[in-house]
Amino acid sequence: MPSLTYAEENYLKAIYHLSDGGKNNVSTNDLSKEMKTKPASVSDMLRKLSEKEVINYRKYYGVTITEEGKKSALQIIRKHRLWEVFLVEKLMFSWDEVHDVAEELEHIKSPILIQRLDDFLGNPKYDPHGDPIPDEFGDVKARPRLPLNELMVNDGGQIVAVKDSSAAFLRYLDKVGAYIGARIKVLDKVEFDGSLEILVDNKKTLFMSKDVAGNILIMQTS
């Protein structure tokens, strides 16, 4: 694995995510939006990442991630998500506070640290947002999942992840008790605007817009 600088790691991670795990091409402009840098800076970085052979770069046509690059990206993601578990489970961070800190911690370079952190946490398979944690070889146990708004009336399941991890959205979910792991059932669907009536943990019912429901991912069980 080529050694990457802090900034290179961040670009590579962004490419991995924007390409949906390496499936799609990513454009310079999209990357510049994601990284909050100018397109000119992105071009420069792409040249460097391409020299290190973690991406395939053809000028003016965007990039794809290489197999090597995918491995590197998955290791960074592994570290990020393990640290998130640590922050939430051991240090009592709420799940909307962890992202920025994990963003820094993920760059600490020490394989033994990550291995021991993983053991200390009990080798978790999912992070606090429900996203799968790659193992040391980069293998991911993905759960089948679909957006809550695609369920039919009377369909039930468990919340396994959220698409939008913004602090505002996570605080909203906290307020209504929609945690990862919560069991939900669709009681009713309003045809007019697609909003839903939901039963949470067999206790509380709540109303939810189609937009919100679209950002909640469900593992269907009925």
Q: In sequence order, which residues have a C-beta less than 8 Å from that of residue 186 and are 6 or more positions away?
A: 148, 151, 152, 153, 154, 155, 156, 196, 197, 198, 199
Work out what residue 40 binds among DNA, its own copies, none; the CB cut-off runs from 5 to 8 Å by kind: DNA
Considering the rule CB under 8 A, would residue 87 count as an interface residue with its own copies? yes
Q: Which is nearer to DNA, 58 or 163 (CB)?
A: 58
Decide if residue 167 touches its own copies (CB under 8 A): no
User: Restricting to residues 92-121, which ones interact with its own copies according to CB under 8 A?
Assistant: 92-93, 97, 100-101, 104-105, 108-110, 112-113, 116-117, 120
| Per-residue H/E/C for 186-197 | EEEECCCCCCEE
User: What are 170's two structure tokens?
Assistant: 């996570």
CA 44 from centre of chain: 26
Phi first, then psi: give them for residue 83, nearest 5 degrees.
-65, -35
To DNA, the closest distance from the beta carbon of 36 in angstroms equals 7
For DNA, the binding residue among 21, 22, 27, 140 (CB under 7 A) is 27
Q: For residues 141 and 157, what is the distance between their CA atoms, to the nearest angstrom? A: 19
Instruction: Kindly state the DSSP code that residue 149 receives in the 8-state scheme.
Output: G
Q: Least distance from C-beta 76 to DNA, angstroms?
A: 14
Provide the mask over 33-62, with x wherever binding to DNA is found by CB under 7 A and - wherever it is not: --xxxxxxxxxxxxxx--------x-xxxx
Contacted entry of its own copies, DNA, none for residue 25, CB cut-off 5 to 8 Å set by kind: none
Q: Which of 1, 2, 6, 67 lies at the binding interface for DNA (CB under 7 A)?
A: 6
Residues facing residue 158 across a β-bridge: 183, 219
Q: How far is CA 70 from the centre of its chain?
A: 15
Q: What is the CA radius of gyration of the chain?
A: 19
| Residue 7 binding its own copies, by CB under 8 A | no
**Least Cβ distance, residue 188 to DNA (angstroms):** 41
Name the segment binding its own copies (CB under 8 A); options: 41-49, 50-58, 86-94, 135-143.
Answer: 86-94
Phi (first) and psi of residue 56, to 5 degrees: -100, 125
- The residues binding its own copies (CB under 8 A) are 87, 90-93, 97, 100-101, 104-105, 108-110, 112-113, 116-117, 120
